[in-house]
């Protein structure tokens, strides 16, 4: 395919938009320019392909398609059926899953669908059984009361937030923490690794309905075979949220015990992180949960987004190609090169390294909070995000960590040599930044000083590093 086609497509689209609201066209153009210039190390972000992006901007956006393929509550869904079935088929083939539900609008939505499916499947309630067989009108007030009480008193065991778990795994600021009685498992304070014996102990004591595996900020592989054995030993449903590392599963970097799909009853994911698809979510599950999962819309979700499902089908087709496995391996090679580069220069890393796409720097070693480090790096053209470290003394707002990830830069084509240079830039910024003080002389967790000239110099070096690896080389908007 000619690169010219990509330029023509995006240029024409902007021309059409510009005729209605030029400021939107300008903002879209500016976003591309900004992304091209920034050293994006946000572990949850990536760059979707032009084909994936273009599949979202069309008439599918106009369709209502509640229901599932072939069983819609709206007429005229034959073409939506085509793309939804394709996306599901690609997902099943790619991940070796028995069932795929591709409607969730995001990772959080996918988790809500999964929670509902497990509750509906597992909670022994005569009232729920009635509701499930669509005798909703027969439910008495007492049934409803019993149902709410039973559904709201279930237990969930997930990874603690400061060890790298996600808010949606039963934590208070999220609805999951209000729906479930939650307990969490952490990591070994000495090694930073998951201590499976402690997880088993917590499961035995707590007897969760759902054991959740998966993370947003844990830099290591997780043994899903062991977690499944723990779930089985207490009769829990084993759910894995692979939102962050789905690309590494798709690219067969995580196989055997480290591939969640053969071990979990239900797997949720985003499609836009390491998987490099459109912004969205997905649920994969064993056959016995499929009916409940398919009730996601309208039980939990608003109407499906057929244009995004079309883009999911495109991105999943891309992920089935052999070069995606190569991409996934390069993500991890880059992450390890970045970790080694940082360690060699004296940085302190949670767990001492990485075997996935992300690295967690404990910036207390530089005398900084995560917030100070994040801002100083941003001033220097390096985009990261602050993150808690295990047992973080600075809490979830200021934090003591910086999370960096390689999926986006790997998509651009940067390799291990550039990762070492990136480590040098990060280390230089963090060693040259000093923590500030409050007006009363106490140490500030937010204020810092960094020489503006140095920040500019680093930002120029970051841009130079990117110059050889243009983002969307086929797209010229000028
Ligand atoms: C990113 C993430 C989510 C949320 O995804 P959204 O698409 O932002 O809703 C859920 N779970 C985990 C583990 C994540 O990393």
Q: Mutate which of 107, 176, 405 to test ligand 1's pocket (most atoms within 8 Å of Cβ)?
A: 107
Residue 4 lies in a domain: no
Active site residue 241: yes
Residue 362 forms part of a structural domain: yes
Residue 54 in domain: no
| 254 and 341 together in one domain | no
**338 shares its domain with 224:** no
Predicted pLDDT at 137? 75
Asked whether residue 340 falls in the same domain as residue 312, the answer is: no
Which is catalytic among the residues 18, 279, 348, 457? 279
244 lines ligand 1 (CB under 6 A): yes
260 and 134 inside one domain: yes
188 catalytic? Reply is no
In a shared domain, residues 295 and 338:
no
Please indicate whether residue 270, judged by its CB atom, sits closer than 6 Å to ligand 1: yes
Q: What is the pLDDT of residue 67?
A: 93
Q: Write down the residue that tokens 């019993």 correspond to.
A: 146
* 49 inside domain: no
C-alpha 234/C-alpha 447 separation (Å) is 48
Q: Is 278 in the pocket of ligand 1 (CB under 6 A)?
A: no
* 305 and 348 both lie in a single domain: no
Q: Which of 68, 187, 268, 270 is catalytic?
A: 270
Q: How many domains does the chain have?
A: 2
List per-block mean pLDDT (blocks of 10 residues) for the chain, which spans 478 residues.
Answer: 84 97 98 94 97 97 94 92 98 98 98 96 81 72 86 92 92 91 94 96 97 97 98 98 98 98 98 98 97 94 97 98 98 98 98 98 97 97 95 94 98 98 98 95 95 97 95 94
CATH number of residue 440's parent domain:
3.90.1150.10
Domain that holds residue 416: 326-467
Q: Are residues 182 and 257 in the same domain?
A: yes
Q: Which of 36, 72, 273, 312 is catalytic?
A: 273
**405 and 315 co-located in one domain:** no
Q: Of 257, 290, 319, which residue sits at a domain end?
A: 319
| Residue 86 domain-assigned (yes or no) | yes
Residues 169 and 105 in one domain: yes
Bridge partners of 437, per DSSP, are 443
**CA separation, residue 272 to residues 81, 242, 315 (Å):** 22, 12, 9
Max intra-chain CA distance, the chain: 72
Give pairs for 294-299: CB < 8 Å, separation 24+: 294/68, 294/101, 295/116, 295/117, 295/120, 296/101, 296/103, 296/104, 296/109, 296/113, 296/116, 296/117, 297/66, 297/67, 297/103, 298/66, 299/113, 299/116
**Which residue's C-alpha comes closest to atom 15 of ligand 1?**
216
DSSP string, 229-280: HHHHHTT-EEEEE-TTTHHHHHTTSS-GGG-STTT-SEEEEESSSTT--SS-
Residue 39 falls within a domain, yes or no?
no
Residues 177 and 235 in one domain: yes
In a domain, 77, yes or no: yes
| CATH code of 144's domain | 3.40.640.10
Q: Is the CB of 265 under 6 A from ligand 1?
A: no
d(CA 380, CA 55): 35
pTM attached to this predicted model: 0.96
Domain boundary among the residues 276, 291, 319 is at: 319
**Do residues 273 and 247 lie in contact, with contact meaning Cβ atoms separated by under 8 Å?**
yes
Residue to mutate, 43, 158, 216, ligand 1, most ligand atoms under 8 Å from C-beta: 216
427: in domain = yes
Question: Distance from the CA of 431 to the center of ligand 1, in angstroms?
Answer: 32
Which of 48-62 are b and which e, b meaning 16 or more Cβ less than 10 Å from the residue's Cβ? Answer: bbbebbbbbeeebee
Residues 203 and 81 both lie in one domain: yes
Q: Catalytic site residue 273?
A: yes
């Amino acid at each position: 395919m000619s690169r010219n086609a990509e330029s023509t497509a995006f240029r024409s689209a902007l021309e059409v938009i510009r005729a209605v609201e030029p400021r939107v066209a300008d903002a879209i153009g500016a976003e591309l320019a900004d992304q091209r210039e920034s050293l994006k190390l946000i572990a949850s972000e990536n760059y979707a392909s032009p084909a994936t992006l273009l599949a979202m901007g069309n008439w599918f956006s106009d369709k209502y398609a509640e229901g599932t393929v072939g069983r819609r509550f709206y007429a005229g869904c034959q073409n939506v059926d085509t793309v939804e079935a394709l996306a599901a088929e690609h997902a099943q083939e790619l991940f070796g899953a028995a069932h795929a539900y591709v409607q969730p609008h995001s990772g959080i939505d996918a988790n809500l669908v999964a929670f509902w499916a497990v509750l509906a499947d597992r909670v022994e309630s005569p009232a729920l059984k009635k509701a499930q067989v669509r005798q909703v009108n027969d439910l008495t007030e007492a049934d409803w009361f019993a149902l709410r009480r039973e559904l709201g008193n279930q237990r969930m065991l997930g990874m603690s937030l400061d060890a790298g778990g996600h808010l949606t795994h039963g934590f208070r600021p999220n609805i999951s923490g209000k729906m479930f009685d939650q307990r969490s498992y952490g990591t070994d304070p000495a090694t930073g690794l998951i201590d499976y014996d402690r997880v088993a102990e917590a499961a035995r004591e707590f007897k969760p309905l759902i054991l959740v595996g998966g993370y947003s900020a844990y830099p290591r592989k997780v043994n899903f075979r062991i977690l499944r054995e723990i779930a089985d030993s207490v009769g829990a449903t084993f759910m894995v949220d692979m939102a962050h590392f789905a690309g590494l599963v798709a690219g067969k970097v995580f196989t055997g015990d480290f591939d969640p799909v053969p071990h979990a009853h239900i797997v949720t994911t985003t499609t836009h992180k390491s998987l490099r698809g459109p912004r969205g979510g997905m649920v994969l599950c064993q056959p016995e949960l499929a009916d409940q999962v398919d009730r996601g819309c309208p039980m939990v979700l608003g109407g499906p987004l057929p244009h995004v499902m079309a883009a999911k089908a495109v991105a999943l087709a891309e992920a089935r190609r052999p070069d995606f496995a190569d991409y996934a391996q390069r993500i991890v090679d880059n992450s390890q090169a970045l970790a080694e580069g940082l360690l060699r220069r004296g940085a302190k890393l949670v767990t001492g390294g990485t075997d996935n796409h992300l690295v967690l720097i404990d910036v207390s070693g530089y005398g900084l909070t995560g917030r100070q480090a994040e801002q100083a790096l941003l001033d220097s053209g390096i985009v990261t995000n602050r993150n808690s470290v295990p047992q973080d003394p600075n809490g979830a707002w200021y934090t003591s960590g910086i999370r960096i990830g390689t999926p986006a830069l790997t998509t651009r084509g940067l390799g291990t040599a550039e990762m070492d240079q990136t480590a040098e830039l990060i280390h230089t910024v963090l060693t040259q930044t000093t923590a500030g003080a409050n007006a009363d002389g106490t140490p500030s967790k937010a204020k810092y000083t960094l020489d503006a000239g140095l920040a500019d110099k680093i930002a120029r070096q970051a841009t130079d590093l990117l110059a050889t690896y243009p983002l969307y080389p086929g797209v010229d908007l000028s």
